[in-house]
């Protein structure tokens, strides 16, 4: 029986959270963590699906007839199954030759699902590769968003990502993805701390869209910070840029920066990543700060070199 495998990188957005949707030049990095997808052809008109977590435990399994993927379905299943069916149907919409025979599929994450490193985006990119369709178009038909996470899934180094015109990432002419040599000399002083709470990106995007503040100036300033951050040669300037970035985003989403809210006594910079209030934060500290964060109840702290490709 024939089989094939695909792998996609996870993601972290270091600058431009929220405003990447409105054209800010943003810095994103693929992670050393990601997701595998293995498919094996089987007899019978169905897709048998199994998803494993990073500990090799099954967190989802189901089977779908090719007919229900082709002609639609009534939402009688659980949310995970409905979402997966939606993705498979969208892939078949983009490529009608997809799933004309049966398969056994196994996915495996290499990171905990609640870390927010791209459980959905890595799945979308893997399925797009399998179906031989455009991953950005598949994203647009399913989860939506800026598309920077798909760019991370497909690249093995830091990138700048920028949308233009209608900010529709499904059109290739509307997005610019450039690999960038982001390798700060002080990277041993950079850490990522998990805030013990996963943020729903779709909810964060919807809330951001509801803000009516004029974002033009902030988009321009965040783009400038991204450029300066890439070329930054010392940690003190890097900290100033992170703090300025936090204040700018705070001004348009009307949320208190995470350092002010949770870590006001910390000696270093702390920057939210992605939807504010959860997932990881980026921390700068010239001394290992694990004891500080553990004392505050945050056990997961990963050095830059262990999480960034």
Same domain, 196 and 284: yes
| Spatial separation of the C-alpha atoms in residues 274 and 120, rounded to whole Å | 14
92: domain CATH number is: 3.30.230.10
Phi, psi (rounded to 5 degrees) for 147: 95, -5
Phi, psi (rounded to 5 degrees) for 270: -135, 125
DSSP state of 188: G
Render each residue's pLDDT in the chain as its tens digit; 309 residues.
589 999 999 999 999 999 999 999 999 999 999 999 999 999 999 999 999 999 999 999 999 999 989 877 655 678 899 999 999 999 999 999 999 999 999 999 999 999 999 999 999 999 999 999 999 999 999 999 999 999 999 999 999 999 999 999 999 999 999 999 899 999 999 999 999 987 777 777 878 887 777 899 999 999 999 999 999 999 999 999 999 999 999 999 999 999 999 999 999 999 999 888 778 999 999 999 999 999 999 999 999 999 998
| Spatial separation of the C-alpha atoms in residues 40 and 5, rounded to whole Å | 9
Same domain, 240 and 136: no
Tokens of 179: 């690999």
Same domain, 80 and 96: yes
Position 210 scores a pLDDT of 79
Position 169 scores a pLDDT of 97
User: Are 235 and 189 contacting, i.e. CB atoms less than 8 angstroms apart?
Assistant: yes
Same domain, 98 and 194: no
Of the residues 149, 179, 209, the one at which a domain ends:
179
| Spatial separation of the C-alpha atoms in residues 178 and 184, rounded to whole Å | 18
pTM of the full structure: 0.95
Helix-strand-coil split of the chain, %, nearest 5: 40, 25, 35
Q: Which helix (H) or strand (E) holds 177?
A: strand 175-179
Q: Is 12 exposed, middle or buried (0-12, 13-18, 19+ CB in 10 A)?
A: buried
| N-terminal to C-terminal alpha carbon distance within the chain | 34
Q: What residues does 8 pair with on adjacent strands?
A: 35
Same domain, 13 and 151: yes
**C-alpha torsion sign, points 171, 172, 176, 179:** positive
Same domain, 171 and 209: no
Same domain, 108 and 208: no
Q: Among candidates 182, 118, 127, which has minimal Cα distance to 153? A: 118
206: domain CATH number is: 3.30.70.890
Same domain, 168 and 276: no
Residue 249, SS3 per DSSP: helix
Expressed as residue numbers, the domain containing 243 is: 187-307
| Spatial separation of the C-alpha atoms in residues 220 and 17, rounded to whole Å | 13
Same domain, 113 and 158: yes
Of the residues 151, 179, 207, the one at which a domain ends:
179
Q: Total structural domains in the chain?
A: 2
| Spatial separation of the C-alpha atoms in residues 191 and 127, rounded to whole Å | 31
Q: Among candidates 309, 3, 5, which has minimal Cα distance to 129? A: 5
Same domain, 151 and 192: no
Of the residues 179, 202, 237, the one at which a domain ends:
179
Same domain, 169 and 213: no
Same domain, 100 and 248: no
Burial 106-145 (b: 16+ CB within 10 A, else e): bbbbbbbeebbbbbbbbbbbbbbbbbebebbbbbbbbbeb
| Spatial separation of the C-alpha atoms in residues 2 and 18, rounded to whole Å | 42
């Amino acid at each position: 029986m024939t089989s094939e495998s695909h792998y996609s990188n996870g993601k972290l957005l270091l600058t431009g959270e929220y405003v990447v949707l409105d054209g800010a030049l943003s810095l994103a990095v693929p992670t050393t963590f990601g997701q595998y997808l293995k498919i094996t052809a089987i007899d019978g008109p169905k897709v048998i699906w199994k998803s494993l977590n990073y500990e090799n435990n099954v967190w989802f399994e189901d089977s779908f007839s090719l007919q229900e993927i082709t002609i639609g379905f009534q939402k009688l299943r659980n949310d995970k199954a409905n979402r997966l069916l939606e993705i498979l149907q969208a892939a078949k919409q983009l490529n009608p030759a997809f799933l004309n025979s049966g398969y056994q599929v196994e996915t495996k994450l290499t990171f905990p699902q609640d870390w927010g490193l791209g459980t959905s985006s890595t799945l979308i990119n893997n399925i797009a590769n399998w179906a031989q369709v455009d991953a950005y178009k598949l994203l647009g038909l399913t989860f939506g968003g800026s598309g920077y996470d798909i760019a991370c899934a497909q690249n093995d180094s830091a990138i700048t990502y920028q949308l233009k015109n209608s900010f529709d990432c499904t059109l290739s002419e509307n997005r610019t993805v450039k690999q960038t040599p982001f390798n700060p000399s002080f990277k041993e002083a950079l850490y990522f701390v998990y805030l013990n709470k996963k943020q729903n990106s779709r909810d964060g995007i919807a809330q951001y869209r509801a803000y009516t503040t004029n974002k033009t100036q902030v988009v321009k300033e965040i783009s400038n910070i991204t450029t300066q951050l890439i070329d930054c040669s010392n940690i003190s300037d890097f900290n100033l840029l992170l703090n300025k970035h936090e204040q700018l985003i705070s001004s348009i989403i009307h949320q208190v920066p995470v350092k002010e809210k949770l870590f006001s006594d910390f000696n270093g910079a702390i920057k939210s990543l992605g939807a504010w209030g959860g997932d990881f934060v980026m921390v700068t500290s010239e001394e290992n700060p694990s004891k500080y964060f553990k004392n505050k109840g945050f056990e997961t702290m990963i050095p830059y070199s262990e999480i960034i490709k």
